[in-house]
Chains A and B, each alone.
Chain A
């Protein structure tokens, strides 16, 4: 675990969570009695080998999946108690997602991709455009606003993905292998950006990675192996 920790109260509280997937007659225990607290404003790296349950844990924190047992509270809200629609609305307001493969809409320009979460708000078109411009400026892509994803490099696409994640100014950023599909240089740029968002904009970031170089940028690193957390890498 890194020595850089935040002094703020926990934004994310994962309490004795279990996650079991059913495949045919087989039960696969992905997470077992796992607890974790992430203070507000922390940049946490979640490491572990493939199949260790990193992405599953991230999905539970982001309300994309429900725990089999235990609870996940974000900002004091027990998100396991939210219904499908309420959970969607909660995600739209409080969480920004950054995906390994960017998951941009290829048919929309960078600015229209960034605008997507704002379509769920009551903002006017002018207000939406203002927010989009700001988000693209934060990630340094104002000059590429009118470009389609296919004309952007991987690093630029991921910047668009990050702009989309922050455009609604969410409290929590969940990043699933954000540099996993990028070369070292582009990856470093993305990590710089995430670090900046954490330090300058106070975003709480949970980043799943298997890259020690990426985790070194986080304030704290926890390791997940066989559904259990530890402070040391798996052997």
Chain B
């Protein structure tokens, strides 16, 4: 600690240069924070997917449906604990840009399948009581300022009603929360019986099945058995873990993880050059001073540690402020106003950020620190003259 004033004073030597370097580090780490939150929002479903859940979908394409009668056969298979089905609605609320998921489900099945969905008992009762009832996640409710009792009109180009009408109206009877911040609270779920009776075609079919299995270690075996069961039928199935399914969904946008990592890689490489240049200049400018320090008894290792401490302090200050600002701004809410299923700065990414701060400090300081360490005192003092 007694060396801290010396290290801090050296950083203040060229205030503007230090400030600009710190700002560039700050911006990089803010970007890191936001990209982490966005990446989490887009591919986070993969990590929150249950290991004990499998998805059964049409082998040809996700947009093709499966017969509803498959559920009975699936439920009878050894190792299957429960099943639920969902059907993608693809509707528009007021404006096409107001995207959010709407799915036709069987209430008891879906609530049993996703225990982290928290719905007040009286709202569950109301949902079970009315065929036109629907529930929505807190995020979407807040996004559109919906409240229980509202009628929600949604237009769909996919599911025309029997009378030719493309407008469906649902009675909002419940707003659900997530048991944790990783639970998606954006979907609107309405009753399948109401939907299936009202739609013009594809009656008796569902979008996909979610099944819960008793033993996650037997996932591959059960998936094969299901696919074998429906092989050579008009609607062959593809059964996969929920994580792979969500990943496939996210990949329709692109490989978000790779894109985010690519951007961060480029940003950190640039910062490495900027901060590295600052440290190299800083050390070069005080060759004589370093020589004097060594002359009065500072060891090579102490000089090395001093330069590394400087670069780490610079990186930790800039990076720490950047991560802190990112955390603060992300905590204020989703900048897309609810378009993303969840928006938060994952703690593990925050810790990775701190680790990158230290690594950046060491990487930018190591070359000048070694130069300072290897400086011969007599040469350094001679350069001053």
> Contact residues of A with B, CB < 8 Å?
55-56, 59, 62, 64-65, 84-85, 88-89, 91-93, 96-97, 99-101, 103-108, 112, 116-117, 119-120, 125, 164-165, 176
- A97 close to B292 (CB less than 8 A): yes
Stretch among B61-69, B231-239, B297-305, B319-327 lining the A interface:
B297-305
- B292 close to A117 (CB less than 8 A): no
With known contacts A97-B292, A101-B385, A103-B291, A88–B9 Cβ distance under 8 A: no
A104 CA to B289 CA, complexed, in Å: 7
With known contacts A103-B291, A105-B9, A107-B12, A117–B385 Cβ distance under 8 A: no
A180: nearest chain-B partner, CB-CB: B385
A57 CA to B220 CA, complexed, in Å: 80
With known contacts A64-B377, A99-B292, A101-B385, A107–B299 Cβ distance under 8 A: no
* Chain B residues closer than 8 Å to A84, beta-carbon distance: 299-300
- B296 close to A107 (CB less than 8 A): no
- B384 close to A85 (CB less than 8 A): no
A91: nearest chain-B partner, CB-CB: B297
> Contact partner of B6 among A55, A119, A125, CB < 8 A?
A119
A89 CA to B300 CA, complexed, in Å: 11
Is B293 an interface position by the 8 A CB rule?
yes
A-B contact count (CB 8 A): 83
> Contact partner of A91 among B6, B289, B296, B376, CB < 8 A?
B296
* Chain B residues closer than 8 Å to A92, beta-carbon distance: 296-298
- A103 close to B297 (CB less than 8 A): no
- B6 close to A64 (CB less than 8 A): no
- B13 close to A106 (CB less than 8 A): yes
Q: Which of B5, B9, B10, B378 has the most CB of A within 10 A?
A: B378
Min C-beta distance of A161 to chain B, whole Å = 9
* Chain A residues closer than 8 Å to B296, beta-carbon distance: 91-92, 96-97, 116-117, 120, 164-165
- A85 close to B9 (CB less than 8 A): no
* Chain A residues closer than 8 Å to B289, beta-carbon distance: 103, 105
Is B381 an interface position by the 8 A CB rule?
yes
Is B295 an interface position by the 8 A CB rule?
yes
11 CB < 8 A contacts A-B? A59-B377, A64-B381, A65-B376, A65-B378, A92-B296, A105-B9, A105-B289, A107-B13, A117-B296, A125-B2, A165-B296
> Contact partner of A103 among B299, B378, B381, CB < 8 A?
B381
A112 CA to B382 CA, complexed, in Å: 24
A131 CA to B12 CA, complexed, in Å: 26
> Contact partner of B297 among A65, A88, A106, CB < 8 A?
A88
* Chain B residues closer than 8 Å to A97, beta-carbon distance: 292, 295-296
With known contacts A103-B288, A116-B293, A119-B6, A59–B378 Cβ distance under 8 A: yes
* Chain A residues closer than 8 Å to B5, beta-carbon distance: 108, 112
- A91 close to B2 (CB less than 8 A): no
A109: nearest chain-B partner, CB-CB: B9
- B292 close to A119 (CB less than 8 A): no
* Chain B residues closer than 8 Å to A100, beta-carbon distance: 385
Contact with A along B170-185 (1 / 0, CB 8 A): 0000000000000000
A56 CA to B381 CA, complexed, in Å: 11
* Chain A residues closer than 8 Å to B10, beta-carbon distance: 107
A177: nearest chain-B partner, CB-CB: B385
A64 CA to B376 CA, complexed, in Å: 8
- B288 close to A101 (CB less than 8 A): yes
* Chain B residues closer than 8 Å to A107, beta-carbon distance: 9-10, 12-13
Q: Which of B1-31 contact A (CB under 8 A)?
A: 2-3, 5-6, 9-10, 12-13
* Chain B residues closer than 8 Å to A89, beta-carbon distance: 297, 299
Is B294 an interface position by the 8 A CB rule?
yes
A108 CA to B297 CA, complexed, in Å: 18
* Chain A residues closer than 8 Å to B378, beta-carbon distance: 56, 59, 64-65
A102 CA to B384 CA, complexed, in Å: 10
Min C-beta distance of A190 to chain B, whole Å = 18
A122 CA to B376 CA, complexed, in Å: 26
* Chain B residues closer than 8 Å to A106, beta-carbon distance: 13
Additional A-B contacts beyond A64-B377, A119-B2, A120-B296 (6; CB < 8 A): A59-B378, A85-B300, A89-B297, A104-B292, A107-B9, A176-B381
